[in-house]
Amino acid sequence: MLLDHLSAKLRTIEAQSLTRFLRQAESGTAPRQQVRGADGRTRELLMFCSNDYLGLAAEPALREALIEGAQIYGGGSGASPLISGHSRAHEQVAETLGRWLTPHIPEARALGFCTGYMANLAVVTALGDEEAEIFSEAWNHASLIDGTRLARAQVKRYAHGDVAALRELLAASTAKVKLIVSDAVFSMDGDLAPLPALLALAEEFDAWLIVDDAHGFGVLGEHGRGSLEHFGLRSERLILVGTLGKAAGLAGAFVVAHATVTQYLLQAARNYIFSTASPPAVEHALLSSFALIEGDLGKARRANLRQLQARLRVGVEGLLARHPALGWRLAPSDTPVQPLIVGGNAEVMALAARLEREGIRVPGIRPPTVPKGEARLRITLCATHSEADVDQLLSALNAAAADMDKVAA
Ligand SMILES: *Cc1c(COP(=O)(O)O)cnc(C)c1O
């Protein structure tokens, strides 16, 4: 009975072309990765789907730092941070992040988490208590949305990028504490939130601005400090959340905010208090990752990313001009997340499957992750892609577009 109930649900998912399944990686994340297919055979795919934007996950320096960290600290942390899980490496990571963000957030301090998902839940639930009202951007990441569902605060949603609508909601609010919550770089679209305008509203209405910089940290700003550096923002109202599993090439996450905020989270954030701290070896290696992000290698890779982005965009725009009947469009993005919006679920999955047969992995993203009718290939670039890699993707897309145009005609 119980199993039948789930099987029926699974059939509904399948009928909508929404079934998700796992692939098994047989090597580390890199532009070319060994991946095991449904047929059990392993082959090399050219990957345009990792969020390891700077290519740091494959850096020998990080591997060595992990080994060194394991030699110092061994395996896991053994307990939550407040019990005994907070190592010297955890402290050094927090110190570095606090220092990096101090130009943007006065008296900045950092708290570490195992994942960005957890960090978002922690901030939104701890600050979003009975006295608060949350103003949540419509395209926010699932973890922020889940945070608002768990929070005791009232929640108001505003349309994507709609600063005027947000202003009206703030003006109408009588809540003692107001929290504006937004992704900095929207994960399925690659566009940036209008953070300066959001911060101006936060100042005007005495609100906090929680910024999720999962896709900006390491990538944006001259020193890779993310969207606050990119926009040159500074305020004690800013609360920055970021993950260290994407451009930083490892794992973990952080909240950086004014010392009073982090002190409060340390007392009140259940996801921080009741969860085992990350492995100290990972934290030890994060220090090497930070040195790379900040140094010449990071600078060169950020410059390379921008060139690859431009090359991809010119190529895809040419394709779209040649095949307008397909109704595809390229999302306006100035980040390594470059979505090609195709439309239907079955259509995008067929396109992704075709690319994969040709040795290129670009995931199809379907509702509910994106709006209905806006299924897309979420192309992500990595600084260690070559121009030839991008050209290979472009020619595969061009061939697919030509064939699909023929079918349509
Ligand atoms: C990936 C992501 C997260 C979650 O970070 P993890 O460390 O992977 O849990 C949070 N927010 C956004 C916008 C993301 O893209």
As annotated, the binding site for substrate includes 20, 141, 369
Mean pLDDT of all residues belonging to the chain = 96
Distances (CA, A) of 197 to 135, 188, 205, 209: 14, 22, 12, 11
- Residue 254 C-alpha to ligand 1 middle, in angstroms? 11
- What pLDDT is attached to residue 408? 63
pLDDT 10s digits, 45-98: 999 999 999 999 999 999 999 999 999 999 999 999 999 999 999 999 999 999
Q: How far apart are CA 305 and CA 251, in angstroms?
A: 21
Question: Average pLDDT in the 137-155 region?
Answer: 97
Domain residue ranges in the chain: 21-50+297-408, 62-294
The verdict on whether omega for the bond into residue 368 sits within 30 degrees of 0, i.e. cis, is yes
How close is the Cα of 245 to the center of ligand 1, in Å? 8
336 neighbors 381 (Cβ within 8 angstroms)? yes
User: What is the domain class of 62-294 according to CATH?
Assistant: alpha beta
The pLDDT of residue 39? 81
Q: Whose CA is nearest to atom 3 of ligand 1?
A: 116
Average pLDDT value for residue range 143-153: 98
**What pLDDT sits at residue 405?**
84
Instruction: State in Å: Cα 51 to ligand 1 middle.
Output: 10
Residue 27 · residue 378 · CB < 8 Å: no
Q: Is 384 in the pocket of ligand 1 (CB under 6 A)?
A: no
Q: Is the CB–ligand 1 distance for residue 253 below 6 Å?
A: yes
| Type of residue found at 81 | P
d(C-alpha 157, C-alpha 314), whole Å: 35
- Residue range 258-310, pLDDT digits in tens: 999 999 999 999 999 999 999 999 999 999 999 999 999 999 999 999 999 99
Distance of CA 72 to the CA centre of its chain: 30
Percentage of the chain exceeding pLDDT 90: 95
State the closest ligand 1 atom to the C-alpha of 117, by its place in the atom list counted from 1: 9
The minimum-distance atom of ligand 1 relative to the CA of 244 is 7
Which pLDDT belongs to residue 409? 61
Amino acid making up residue 209: L
Q: What is the pLDDT of residue 399?
A: 97
Q: Please tell me if the CB atom of residue 199 comes closer than 6 angstroms to any atom of ligand 1.
A: no
Query: Looking at domain 21-50+297-408, which of 3.30.230.10, 3.90.1150.10, 1.10.1030.10, 1.10.15.40 is its CATH number?
Result: 3.90.1150.10
The tens digit of pLDDT for each residue in 174-223 reads 999 999 999 999 999 999 999 999 999 999 999 999 999 999 999 999 99
**Contact 378 CB / ligand 1 (< 6 Å):** no
HEC profile of 339-399:
EEEEECHHHHHHHHHHHHHCCEECCEECCCCCCCCCEEEEEECCCCCCHHHHHHHHHHHHH
pLDDT of residue 286: 98
Contact 115 CB / ligand 1 (< 6 Å): yes
d(CA 37, CA 25): 9
* pLDDT value of residue 16: 87
* Span 355-376, average pLDDT: 94
| Burial of 324 from C-beta contacts in 10 A (0-12 / 13-18 / 19+) | exposed
| Sheet order of strands, 253-258 included | 108-113, 253-258, 238-243, 207-212, 177-183, 132-137, 154-158
Ligand 1 contact via 183 beta carbon (within 6 Å): yes
CB 217, CB 53: distance < 8 Å: no
- What is the position in ligand 1's atom list of the atom closest to the CA of 143? 10
Q: Is 121 in the pocket of ligand 1 (CB under 6 A)?
A: no
Whether the CB-CB separation of 246 and 215 falls below 8 Å is answered with yes
**Is the CB of 140 inside a 6 Å radius of any atom of ligand 1?**
no
